[in-house]
Each structure stands twice: as structure tokens, then as C-alpha cells.
Amino acid sequence: MTCSSRLTIQMGDRAPSEWGTLASLLVHEAPARFHFAYFRGKELTVGSVPKGETRLRVRQGKLLPDESVGTMLQLLISSDRVLETPPAAPERVLDKVTMGERSLHLIVGYEGRREWRSWYSAAAVPGHLRSFLDDCRAFGDRLGTPAPIQ
């Protein structure tokens, strides 16, 4: 017996996200070591501390059309298994106290869904989320040299 299902298979960045459209992504390494913010329809904001310096430098810009940036970030979120990780201490994300501690703050928002939020002390960041942080740094580096904070 032969069965033909005629399923459509989409590969790579052509496959739609199971979560929908990425609305926002915030990655913050505290205290003021790295900052990555994507809000759909806005310029990407990246802050980092250049080698040999102690102050965060921020830059903003568009690398590609917004839809392409969102798609690329969704691929990073998926490949680094961010949303497969149970949220950790969501109440501590961007809290005044935890922003002064060595820590990682993550917020992922998809249109029509509740945000996924997690906080980790620097020593407790899981390896795959450390990889995600590195991927966001590399993505942000494509914006070029940071300018001093005014």
C-alpha cells in the first residue's frame, strides 16, 4: 500500500517559528558589561565594554531590514535552545539589586504571547545560554565600532 502525504517541508530560515513573530529581545550582562536590545520596527541597540576600557559604549543601527534581523535572531534563539530552558528567577530580571551584581538578564517576547524572562548569577549561566550571549555579541559586533556614551 502506498501513501502520499504531500507534506510541505521548509528548511532553515524559511520555516516559520513555532512561537510566531519575534517582537523583542533583551540580553543584558550586568553590571553594565553588555547590552543587546531588539524591538521590532526599531533600530538595534548594542552596548559593550571595549578591550582596555571600563565604560559601556553604545551603538544603534540597522544591519538589514527589520524582518531579516528578526528572522536571524529567531534562528539564534532556536539554535541555542533559549525557550526550551525553563525560566529562572523571572522576578529578578532587571531588578535594581540584581543589575548591580554580576549576572545575566534575558527577556524574549513574541507577538501575542507572554514574555519569557530569566535571570542567572554569572557563575550559574548554563552553557547553551552562554553560547547565546556570545552569539548576540557577535551579531552586535556587525554594527561596527561603538561610540562613547554622551
The alpha carbon of residue 81 and the mean position of all alpha carbons in its chain are separated, in whole angstroms, by: 12
88-119 per-position pLDDT tens digit:
999 999 999 999 999 999 999 999 889 999 99
Domain boundaries, the chain: 18-141
6-49 per-position pLDDT tens digit:
656 555 555 555 668 999 999 999 999 999 999 998 888 999 88
* DSSP states along the chain: -----------GGGSPPTT--EEEEEEEEETTTEEEEEETTS-EEEEE--TT--S-EEEEE-SS-HHHHHHHHHHHHHHTTSTTSPP--GGGTT-TTGGGSSEEEEEEEETTSPPEEEEEEGGG--HHHHHHHHHHHHHHHTT-SPBPP-
Record the pTM.
0.82
37-88 per-position pLDDT tens digit:
999 988 889 998 888 988 888 888 876 666 788 888 999 999 999 999 999 9
